[in-house]
Structure 1
Amino acid sequence: MPITLPTRSIKEEIKQQRDLLWRERWARLPLTLLAIAMTTIYLPIRMAVVCAMVNLGAELASMLYMRALDPRRHPKRYHFVIACVAAMEFCYVLPAILIWQGDENYAKAFAVGMLCTTLMQMIGARSIHMPFGYFAFVAAAVPSLVGNAYYWIGIDNHAGLAVSTLALSGALTYTLVAMKSNNRLHVAAALDRAAAVDSSKAKSRFLAQMSHELRTPMNAILGMGHAELRRAKDNLSENRLSVLITSAEGLSTILDDILDMSAIESGRLSIRPKPVVPAQEIMALLNLFQPAITNAGLELIYTLSPQLGAQWLLDPQRLRQCMTNLLSNALKNTTHGSITVTADLDIAPSLQSGPQMGAVNAGKAIMRIEIADTGPGIPSHRHSSLFEPFSQARRPQVGTESNGLGLSICRTMARQMGGDVTIATNTEGESGAHFIFTLQLGVAPPTSEPATDAPKPIAPRLAPNITSLQVLVVDDIATNRLVASTYLRMLGATMIEAASGAQALEILTRSQPDLVLLDMNMPEMNGIETLEQIRALPGPVARVPVIAMTADAMPDHRAHYLAAGLDGYLAKPINPARIETEIKAVLDKARGSRPE
């Protein structure tokens, strides 16, 4: 008697039923065999062994054939499982019926106990897919009623037959009602769970779509704002345009934080460790912040442990993301004085005794980064709520308000990397905020390059010069091409425009630019397809560096596009600093990989 469910398939019901039985197998099967074994007190051992073997075999066979079972596609398997369920219940109830026929001490109490356990088991474990429950119920109810009638008729006691049949019928009726009620609960829970999953997917799709749609006009606002700010000739215009740009960048930060929070809530925040030199990652980030810190009239003080000059396993993107948040927080809240960054390493003894730093295959290390500022500080009574979403413990400078998500996201990322973000309590006489960021480092695989306990000081690398570069900008939206061309001209580069992938390929057959900025979401031929066509071109133009310039800014987009063969990634809205940094990094990597 199959049940038709308009919003939940029978296949899903059977899967849920099997999952429940499979999870409970180590508790349920031994107890079932123990109960049958105890029937040897009243029954021959041979009968108990036969019932136990049939029960166990039918149970295991039913769970095996329930795997990926679809009644429409596998009707024979479905009927076989039903037969197994009926045989299993019958072989459990049969010993109880036979014991009921005897007059030994406590025999009838034992038989009633066995029958009650199987009825309870049907209520709890056989009520998800009701056809299985119905056949199990029939396999237990019919023999029980027949056996009970046979006993009382045999001793010619019609009153006992009537009373016991009434009691047994009441127990069976309650079991059936409870099974149906439990089934409704299972169905409601499954539908609620499915609705929650669909709602989460819809929210993710909405966030991704809104992020994509908002980034294009925001890209235009920032691009035109930077261009007009460069041309402004009076202080009033400069101030107004600075407020415009700062506000647009604040909206961009809010978008990024919301996407990160969404990824954290859905469990999609990925950590991808790889061998890197932590000191180089930290210095690269400090070099990016140095101009902003200097322009704010502050001093940047940093101290890095020499041990951070070796290779370790960590996720450089998440490291930069957490440090960027903490440094931005310090910069927003500090009007005079300095920002101090201290990074050191706590190495496990097993690593310290190893033959080569970064080449030992056991143990881990903890990197500790402290970021302190001389701002107004954070009251100690606010420390407990500081890392909650939308919590703001300090009032930033005018025009630099935050959304209160950054520290919460930062702590979550740190904990996923085996560390944490905490705030130290100031001692008497100290001011400002002092954050402590820790993360666990894995041991990098051995390399052919010898490692030393004291790496050489990190010197800034000479970045490629963007001036005189020829850049091909490929985007189907004219506004985005205008913004990119504005920034490139500000950096001294020249550009060629292409409104589609096909047009870009046509240009590349005639000329060879130094770089390509490629939109990922174009009609007819998207960014990935255009990249494949570029790599298939004859000659050296096929190796031209290509940077994704896209409004796809979800946490996994960067990794996806880099894995697809893109040389770099720029999420819209872009700004002059970001486009300059990414172009220099990509060209530096491309030139460094070429044979001398």
Structure 2
Amino acid sequence: MLFQDPNAKEEIKRQHDLLWRERWGRLPLTMLGIALTTIYLPLWIALVIGIMVLGAEIASMRYMRALDPRRHPARYLFVIFCTFVMELFFSLSAALIWQVDDDYAKPFAVGIIMVTLMQIISARTIHMAFGYVGFTAVALVTLVGNAVYWLGFDDYLGLGVSTLAANAVLIYTLIAMHSNNTLHRTAALDRKAALASNNAKSRFLAQMSHELRTPMNAILGMGHAEQRRAKDALSQNRLAVLISAAEGLSTILDDILDMSAIEAGRLPIRTERVVPSTEVLAVANLFQPAITEAGLALTHKIDPQLGKEWLLDPKRLRQCMSNLLSNALKNTQDGGIHVLADLASDASGAPQMRIEISDTGPGVPSHLHRSLFAPFSQAYRPLGGTESNGLGLSICRTMARQMGGDLTLAGNTEGQSGARFILTLKLGLPDVTDSPASVAQATQIPYPAAATTGLRVLVVDDIATNRLVASTYLRMLGAAMIEAESGAKALEIITTSCPDLILLDMNMPEMNGLQTLARIRSLPGPLAKIPVIAMTANAMAEHRAEYMASGVDGYLAKPITPARIEAEIKAVLDKKGRARSD
């Protein structure tokens, strides 16, 4: 049974890790204890005991590493033997001192035995076989040494009483060993279950993110297409709100994929050249319909200095503002919500954007001020009880601080004064040597097509919606589009009509993207060198690395946008052009 226990390998590893972690405290104290036995024992006996204990300990630690009893039975038995020798010789010092005729010798000997038993209970019972062996050695030495002492005086009463006391201690030790082993097993099982649950959660979120990217791709694609065709300002504004909301959901999908960053409270910050006033107005426009429907007024005042280009992360700005406006809408019944954005500076004089979002609700009770930004805190709700605030404010504060600012609750009191949240974000100065960035307004999206005009692009995707979105974008960019619903169909088209570029979905049935790519690269002549861009809902970092290593020339994670598809096509064609010139 010792060699067939399926948990033995894992238990021995945890046993080894514990002993190794504590070695610099445990081994010196063991040697100190043996050195103190020279008070009652000859030096040579203490040296022999020390050598045997230390040698057995070092040998057991060495051979316990990566030990699997089912694969290494002889090594396993050797470690058990070393454990027995180590505990036997350490206990032997106590048995020898017990024989010494001195008032303090026996308490000293009892102390050594008790320390040994405690050490077995605490550090040797993760794998019970080691605990049993050590316990057997201590019990054997204790009972034999006690019997030798009392029989030397022919005192059978003393032998009986002391043996009974020793057995009581040994029985209690066995009970404690089993209890500690149960605790170790339970903790290990709970940890394994927690890891499995966390992995399942991560897989679920990644799968949901993958599944949501296809409809999100369609929403963004059709939104961009209709916005480009819309002639009147009202339609363009409405479509801009739709696109902004879809891009916000796309950002959330990206965050879901980076679970380690979310759990550590460190989401990636990507600064761009943007006009802050445009971003603030875009979020306000997004919430305007819901605020109006609730019978509230939304007013805003924006510093004209925020109407020029600055460096910041627009997605994180929109995410923070959306959370604050959503909370204000939930907690306001009468009056309205006011957004004030102006240019400020931090303590060092660096430029900051300061956004104040205030409402006319009842405000936040004073007893919730300190816990308001804690994860899963309870936010005040005017009508009936509390409402979980989840991670919204906590994540927003984390993001604000990563961007050199902060999120605070200021000047709010219960009653009519409402709540005032102040969001500050550090603004970077654009490099004057850079060419001016083309910044999209809330109602405008640029569609430059210099690199794509006249290109013949093959779009390979088994989902018709994705092909429609890609064809819409490519036509905006002046390219000609050929469709293929499978890898096999794509190969037929390539051999009969050599396209300039291929957008290839990686998750197709029958012949997936990687298999299709391998077939393309095996085609004769120039067909094998056609640039291929992976277009996929697999948006994790490891997916990108896998696809790039397989031989694709570029990578697009869904949902795609006109700007992203054009930028990737330009990058791939530029890279191919440089390779040809070299």
Fold in common (TM above 0.5): yes
Q: Give 3-state SS (helix, strand or coil) of 2:435's partner.
A: coil
Change (3 A) 1:110 1:302: farther
Q: TM-score, normalised by structure 1?
A: 0.73
Q: Deviations over 1:6-49 (max 9, x none)?
A: xx621101101111111111111111110011111111111111
Match of 2:574 in 1: 591
Match of 2:207 in 1: 209
Quick one: distance in 1 between partners of 2:277 and 2:30?
69
Quick one: distance in 1 between partners of 2:306 and 2:241?
29
Match of 2:433 in 1: 457
Q: Deviations over 1:306-328 (max 9, x none)?
A: xx9xxxxxxx9xx6754564577
Match of 1:36 in 2: 34
Change (3 A) 1:174 1:83: same
Q: Give 3-state SS (helix, strand or coil) of 2:509's partner.
A: coil
Match of 2:86 in 1: 88
Match of 2:423 in 1: 435
Change (3 A) 1:323 1:196: same
Matched, 1:473 2:459: yes
Give, in angstroms, the shift of residue 212 of structure 1: 1.8
Match of 2:482 in 1: 496
Q: Give 3-state SS (helix, strand or coil) of 1:487's partner.
A: helix
Give, in angstroms, the shift of residue 394 of structure 1: 13
Quick one: distance in 1 between partners of 2:517 and 2:274?
29
Tell me if the contact between 1:285 and 1:320 (Cα under 8 Å) persists in the aligned partners.
no
Matched, 1:263 2:247: no
Q: Deviations over 1:46-87 (max 9, x none)?
A: 111111111111111111111111000000100000000000
Match of 2:331 in 1: none
Which moved further from structure 2: 382-391 or 486-495?
382-391
Q: Deviations over 1:151-206 (max 9, x none)?
A: 10111111100110000000011001110111111111111110111111111111
Give, in angstroms, the shift of residue 489 of structure 1: 2.9
Quick one: distance in 2 between partners of 1:336 and 1:50?
83
Change (3 A) 1:369 1:46: farther
Aligned Cα RMSD in Å? Answer: 4.7
Tell me if the contact between 1:568 and 1:582 (Cα under 8 Å) persists in the aligned partners.
no
Q: Give 3-state SS (helix, strand or coil) of 2:11's partner.
A: helix
Tell me if the contact between 1:36 and 1:48 (Cα under 8 Å) persists in the aligned partners.
yes
Change (3 A) 1:376 1:411: closer
Map 1:381-420 → 2, pairs under 5 A: 387-388=373-374, 408-409=394-395, 411-412=397-398
Match of 2:217 in 1: 219
Quick one: distance in 1 between partners of 2:507 and 2:559?
15
Match of 2:2 in 1: 2
Change (3 A) 1:116 1:78: same
Change (3 A) 1:137 1:214: same
Tell me if the contact between 1:71 and 1:78 (Cα under 8 Å) persists in the aligned partners.
yes
Q: Structure 2: where are the runs of 5+ without partners? A: 287-299, 329-335, 382-388, 412-418, 439-447
Q: Taking every aligned residue pair, what percent have the same amino acid on both sides?
A: 55
Q: Give 3-state SS (helix, strand or coil) of 2:273's partner.
A: helix
Map 1:54-73 → 2, pairs under 5 A: 54-73=52-71
Tell me if the contact between 1:85 and 1:135 (Cα under 8 Å) persists in the aligned partners.
yes
Quick one: distance in 2 between partners of 1:48 and 1:588?
76
Map 1:129-140 → 2, pairs under 5 A: 129-140=127-138
Quick one: distance in 2 between partners of 1:208 and 1:504?
28
Q: Deviations over 1:232-284 (max 9, x none)?
A: 79999889877776665565455444444x4345559797x9xxxx9xx5327
Tell me if the contact between 2:283 and 2:318 (Cα under 8 Å) persists in the aligned partners.
no
Quick one: distance in 2 between partners of 1:335 and 1:588?
44
Pairs aligned (count): 529
Tell me if the contact between 2:273 and 2:437 (Cα under 8 Å) persists in the aligned partners.
no
Matched, 1:370 2:358: no
Map 1:11-410 → 2, pairs under 5 A: 11-224=9-222, 227=225, 251-260=249-258, 262-264=259-261, 282-283=272-273, 301=306, 322=316, 325=319, 370-373=352-355, 376=358, 387-388=373-374, 408-409=394-395
Give, in angstroms, the shift of residue 519 of structure 1: 1.5
Match of 1:581 in 2: 564
Change (3 A) 1:513 1:414: farther
Change (3 A) 1:389 1:582: farther
Matched, 1:423 2:423: no
Tell me if the contact between 2:536 and 2:557 (Cα under 8 Å) persists in the aligned partners.
yes
Match of 1:351 in 2: none
Q: TM-score, normalised by structure 2?
A: 0.75
Match of 1:447 in 2: none
Letter in 1 for 2:468: L
Q: Deviations over 1:451-489 (max 9, x none)?
A: xx9964321379652443332211122222123223333
Tell me if the contact between 2:373 and 2:393 (Cα under 8 Å) persists in the aligned partners.
yes
Change (3 A) 1:325 1:496: same
Quick one: distance in 2 between partners of 1:64 and 1:533?
51
Quick one: distance in 1 between partners of 2:453 and 2:378?
42
Tell me if the contact between 2:209 and 2:256 (Cα under 8 Å) persists in the aligned partners.
no
Q: Give 3-state SS (helix, strand or coil) of 1:520's partner.
A: coil
Quick one: distance in 2 between partners of 1:193 and 1:390?
23
Q: Which has the higher contact order (CA 8 A, sep 6+)?
A: 1
Q: Give 3-state SS (helix, strand or coil) of 2:352's partner.
A: strand
Q: Give 3-state SS (helix, strand or coil) of 2:68's partner.
A: coil
Which moved further from structure 2: 19-28 or 219-228?
219-228
Quick one: distance in 2 between partners of 1:218 and 1:253?
11
Quick one: distance in 2 between partners of 1:467 and 1:345?
50
Change (3 A) 1:67 1:290: same
Give, in angstroms, the shift of residue 207 of structure 1: 1.4
Change (3 A) 1:268 1:181: same
Tell me if the contact between 2:339 and 2:358 (Cα under 8 Å) persists in the aligned partners.
no
Quick one: distance in 1 between partners of 2:379 and 2:546?
36
Which moved further from structure 2: 325-334 or 520-529?
325-334
Quick one: distance in 1 between partners of 2:266 and 2:513?
24
Letter in 1 for 2:470: A
Matched, 1:549 2:535: yes
Tell me if the contact between 1:269 and 1:555 (Cα under 8 Å) persists in the aligned partners.
no
Which moved further from structure 2: 162-171 or 491-500?
491-500
Match of 1:362 in 2: none
Q: Deviations over 1:507-559 (max 9, x none)?
A: 33444434332222123443344445545656555555443322223465456
Quick one: distance in 2 between partners of 1:545 and 1:97?
82
Change (3 A) 1:392 1:98: closer
Q: Give 3-state SS (helix, strand or coil) of 1:471's partner.
A: strand
Quick one: distance in 2 between partners of 1:556 and 1:172?
55
Q: Deviations over 1:390-433 (max 9, x none)?
A: 889999xxxxxxx9866644554677x7x754136889xxx997
Q: Give 3-state SS (helix, strand or coil) of 1:104's partner.
A: coil
Quick one: distance in 1 between partners of 2:241 and 2:432?
42
Which moved further from structure 2: 586-595 or 492-501?
586-595
Match of 1:399 in 2: none
Quick one: distance in 1 between partners of 2:449 and 2:479?
12
Quick one: distance in 2 between partners of 1:330 and 1:464?
38
Change (3 A) 1:375 1:89: closer
